[in-house]
A and B are shown apart, each in its own frame.
Chain A
Amino acid sequence: MTGRPVEDFVSCNPEELAQKCSLSYKALVAVRRVLLAQYTAFPISGADLYQELLSSTAILSTGSPSLDKLLDSGLYTGEITELTGSPGSGKTQVCFSVAVNISHQLKQSVFYIDTKGGMCVNRLLQMLQTRTSNVEEQASVGGGSVKAVIVDSVPAVLSSMLGGKQNEGMSLLMQVAGELKMIAKDFNIAVLVTNHVTQDGNGCLKAGLGLSWSHVPRTRVLLQRVENPGVSSSSLRTATLTKSSRQPCHLVEDFDLCNWSDERNSVSGKRKLESS
């Protein structure tokens, strides 16, 4: 009657139901068992899950030594990593660099979902050309199974749905989150998403899309421009770890968008947010 026959049926006591509908108790129990076998998620022993993870988890290097250090050696498969930052902080450039590195260096395929028309093929080619001058090699990047999904950006299409009575937009947002998590877990894929930032009451930057979304990514990195007086546009950026289950938060690393794989830019190394 409520349109949820399976849930209602399973929650019923088969004995009462048998009496009410004068159906066979045995048949009802059998139907119930089939339904449960059909729709439930089955428990896996922790030991098996651990063995499975050990053999299937991969860590995809981003190609930037300083960013890798921040992420504890790279993007982990099975997880969602989020890049946040104000416009011009280099989120899209980092996505490009990661995509190029995974497809060229690691020879794995990347799915790039561009929701804001920021995809620039010329820029990708340019990045590839700095790595190799061999045209054939440039054309044959990737090839392996899909190991990474990059979404640039999540709020571009979803933030317009939020606000107002919120239900629909929030529901859609959480469904997207659920799908991304499932893709990451079931196919062992590293998911990299970008998000914008908002300011909270104290003027601190925090990730956009609200509180419900804030629980979604496992790791979050805040990108910021290095304010360099005298230089109008610099490619120097700082990356701050704002959420992680592996590393202490508020680790800060410097990197250069132009010299992505350059080690020298990380000489300033780790420093604490508070001391800067």
Chain B
Amino acid sequence: MTARVRMAENGAQVVSRLEGRQSLKDVEPNIFPVDGGPGQGDIVEFYGMEGTGKTETLYHLITRCIMPVQSGGLEVGVIIIDTDHHFDMLRLVSILEGQLARYSKESDGSEAESEEGVCSCLRRLSVVHCCSSAQLLLTLHYLENSISIQPSLDLLIIDSISAFFWVDRHSGGESIACQEANMRKCAEFLDKLRKNYGIVIFATTHAIMRNYNTTSDSGLSDVPGSSSWRWKSADSATDFNKPYLCRAWQRIITHRVLFTKSQVSKDHKQVFSAACTSIMTKGVKKCLFNVMEDGIKFLCDK
């Protein structure tokens, strides 16, 4: 069977498969652990309540990805699937402008970063709006073609993957399996995309389920097992950590970043924290950041 599938590949697919995509391992060393960044085919889930900085972090990562190499970016293509109708292009551009201006000032002291520079970055970004889980599934199938012919396309972002949870719950049918059918197919297809094309997938999930049976002794030591509940141990900061999306999705996640709002610092700035766990590395990598006018600013922790 697999041999025949390979035969159906076209030239561009072969090239993109053999050449491999650029690694996103260094996309943000502050968030991801050293040597544990998202490599080819990794799936990262950003998890948190509203207003904990998930989308802001996505803007930051998108900016890092689409900026040209000489400005310190990775210069790769990004597709963002906006299911929440939440994506704020104006905010992204203001972050992008800030970053570009900072790098051009650092390099040659000039401040002449133009509209042109911003537009050339934005051309690496594609935006899709989806309004149902069926449309999400079909769109993913449709995107397979673009992913296969564009080897520079490195990152697929879904903000958020939990958007249709309640709607599917009600309209999906009598059994949980029916209700989850679309999401399960999406997850299976995402799994196929990352295996075949080595694309990195970031997805956000809203924390909307209270975890009633949180154990208080949530130690961070146990090795993540293969069960879908393996992330439970890392999340001591919140009791809204119950994974509620379908098993097929829980199974393919390789990294999970938990966002929480921390205390307000002395200079009245809200501090956010992101805790990253991954199946490759042990322990939790935690970082703190502020949200500033020109994007997020990491606080050095000791």
Chain A residues proximal to chain B, CB less than 8 Å: 2-4, 6-7, 10-11, 15, 35-36, 39-47, 49-50, 53, 57, 167-168, 170-175, 178, 181-182, 184-185, 210-212, 214-215, 218, 242-243, 245-246, 248-250, 272, 274
**With contacts A6-B138, A53-B90 known, is A185 near B240, CB below 8 A?**
no
8 Å CB interface, B138-164 against A: 138-139, 141-143, 146, 160
Contact (Cβ within 8 A) B166 A212: yes
Which chain B positions have C-beta within 8 A of A11?
Answer: 137, 141, 185, 188-189
| B220 at the A interface (CB under 8 A) | no
Which secondary structure dominates where chain A touches chain B? helix
Q: How distant is the Cα of A171 from the Cα of B164 in the complex, in angstroms? A: 9
Which chain B positions have C-beta within 8 A of A3?
Answer: 173
A36 to chain B, nearest CB (A): 5
- 16 A-B residue pairs with CB within 8 Å: A7-B138, A7-B185, A10-B141, A11-B189, A41-B128, A42-B142, A43-B128, A50-B89, A50-B119, A170-B169, A171-B167, A171-B170, A178-B85, A185-B85, A245-B55, A249-B270
Q: How distant is the Cα of A4 from the Cα of B137 in the complex, in angstroms? A: 12
Could you tell me how many residues of chain B have their Cβ less than 8 Å away from some Cβ of chain A? 64
Write the B83-122 contact mask toward A (1 if CB under 8 angstroms, else 0): 0111011111100000000000000000000000011111
Contact (Cβ within 8 A) B170 A170: yes
Which chain A positions have C-beta within 8 A of B121?
Answer: 46
Q: How distant is the Cα of A238 from the Cα of B139 in the complex, in angstroms? A: 45
B92 to chain A, nearest CB (A): 8
Which chain B positions have C-beta within 8 A of A182?
Answer: 85, 131
Chain B residues proximal to chain A, CB less than 8 Å: 4-5, 8, 49-51, 55-56, 66, 79, 84-86, 88-93, 118-131, 134-135, 137-139, 141-143, 146, 160, 166-167, 169-171, 173, 178, 181-182, 185, 188-189, 206-208, 240, 264, 268-270, 291
Contact (Cβ within 8 A) A50 B93: yes
Contact (Cβ within 8 A) B178 A2: yes
Beyond A39-B135, A178-B85, 14 additional contacts (C-beta under 8 Å) are: A2-B173, A2-B181, A7-B182, A41-B128, A43-B126, A45-B127, A46-B89, A47-B122, A171-B166, A171-B171, A185-B129, A215-B84, A218-B86, A274-B264
Contact (Cβ within 8 A) B123 A45: yes
* The one of A39, A46, A246 that contacts B126, using a Cβ cutoff of 8 Å: A46
B5 to chain A, nearest CB (A): 8
Contact (Cβ within 8 A) B84 A181: yes
Most A CB within 10 A of own CB, among B5, B121, B122: B122
A241 to chain B, nearest CB (A): 11
* The one of B124, B137, B188 that contacts A10, using a Cβ cutoff of 8 Å: B137
Which chain A positions have C-beta within 8 A of B173?
Answer: 2-3
Which chain A positions have C-beta within 8 A of B120?
Answer: 47
The 4 closest A-B pairs by CB, nearest first: A171-B170, A46-B125, A46-B122, A181-B85
Which chain A positions have C-beta within 8 A of B88?
Answer: 218, 245
Which chain A positions have C-beta within 8 A of B51?
Answer: 214, 242-243, 249
